[in-house]
Copies of this chain bind each other. A is one copy, B any other.
Amino acid sequence: MRIRSDGGSQRITINDVARLSGVSPATVTRALQGHPRVRAETRREVERAAQLLGYRPHVLARALATGTTTTVGLLIPDVGDPYWTEIAAGIEEHLSGAGFSVLFGSTHSKPENERRLLEIFLGNRVAGIVVGGIAGDLAALPRPHPPIVLVSADEALDVDLAQVLEQLPEELRARETSLGADRATFEVASDDVKSARSAVEYLVGLGHERLAFVGARRTRSSLLRSVGFLRAVHDTGVEGNVVASEPTLESAAAVARALLEPAMRPSALVAYDDVVAIGAIRAAHALGLHVPGDVSVMGFDDIAFAAFVEPPLTTIQQPKHEMGRLAARLVLESARADVVRHRHLLPGTLVVRESTGPAPAGRARGR
């Protein structure tokens, strides 16, 4: 006799319940699913038997029979990044609340991982998929596929940063629609252009006249934020330039250090995100500069720790949890009915803390 060391749980099936309660399997199904046409007494009897036996329906068998799953695939780039985990939290919460399970994977921002995991999700016949970050060649997916909702799709653009920055924002906006996003049913993102604009307007309101945006990369949200920054800078008539940086504390610190040399030092820095902002603040401190006394620094996103660094970070909060909820709602809804593709742009909101302040006196407008 060979011991089945399989991980399977109990093997009490619907048949066991049927036998014990003296009805057919079909009736058991109906009774347990709240089907209207079952005698009340029968139902009680079945429920009692099921309870007694500790019957637990085999989700997979059910899926096979119905052709439908209650599982949704979730892909995010990085489990360690608070931005993504907060979004994931919103997604998980909503999905779980709606009785759906979450099949999870991390892409590490690698398209090949994204592809591989999507394959797995499809193999598992998920009812829908939420993809955070990249979202490469969705077009290559077999059709039809379950509804896919993109969150802050960050697909790399095939253009030079410099080129894009010269182009009109309108033109860039147009380009967006040609991204891989077009195979997805929905997309939810933050309104990066507008967010960057409010950042600039806030700083200008404080009297700053020489700004810098640090952290531009070849990703969509980064480009859009820098574009919003440049546009606002232009509209308000102050100085402002964009410098590139990786979205890591180290890179940001290095870039900021160079930027803060006395020569043409900006009086305020707008960072690509909170992580970059924190890196910039460290660089400022290392240079003996006071924040916000000597230089104001602000970020984007409002990750949990933004409020607890020294000084607490002024930032443009993104409704991460809300974005997650929305994404989850959208997959579930579009899993049920045919819907029109649509992009949801959520607004950011300014959160003023202590890393920003009035422009230093006497340093206004160069020379």
A residues lining the B interface (CB < 8 Å): 3-10, 54, 56-61, 63-64, 67-69, 71, 74, 79-80, 82, 85-86, 88-89, 92-93, 96, 101-106, 117, 119-120, 122-128, 142-147, 249, 278, 282, 285, 304-305, 308-310, 335-338
Contact = CB atoms under 8 A, between A and B. Distances in A.
A90 to B, nearest CB: 9
How often does this chain occur in the complex, in copies? 2
Given A85-B80, A102-B105, A106-B89, A68 B6 contact: yes
9 closest Cβ contacts across the A-B interface?
A310-B310, A7-B146, A104-B104, A79-B89, A7-B127, A59-B123, A60-B60, A102-B104, A9-B122
Give the interface centre of A54, A59, A61 by most chain B CB atoms within 10 Å.
Answer: A59
Given A103-B102, A146-B9, A335-B7, A125 B85 contact: no
A57 B146 CA distance: 16
Contacts of A63: 60
Given A54-B142, A59-B125, A125-B9, A103 B106 contact: no
Given A7-B146, A80-B85, A105-B92, A308 B282 contact: yes
27 contacts: A4-B67, A7-B126, A7-B127, A7-B147, A8-B125, A8-B146, A9-B125, A10-B143, A10-B144, A54-B142, A57-B123, A58-B64, A59-B120, A59-B123, A60-B63, A71-B103, A79-B92, A80-B85, A80-B86, A82-B82, A89-B106, A92-B104, A92-B105, A92-B106, A278-B308, A282-B308, A305-B305
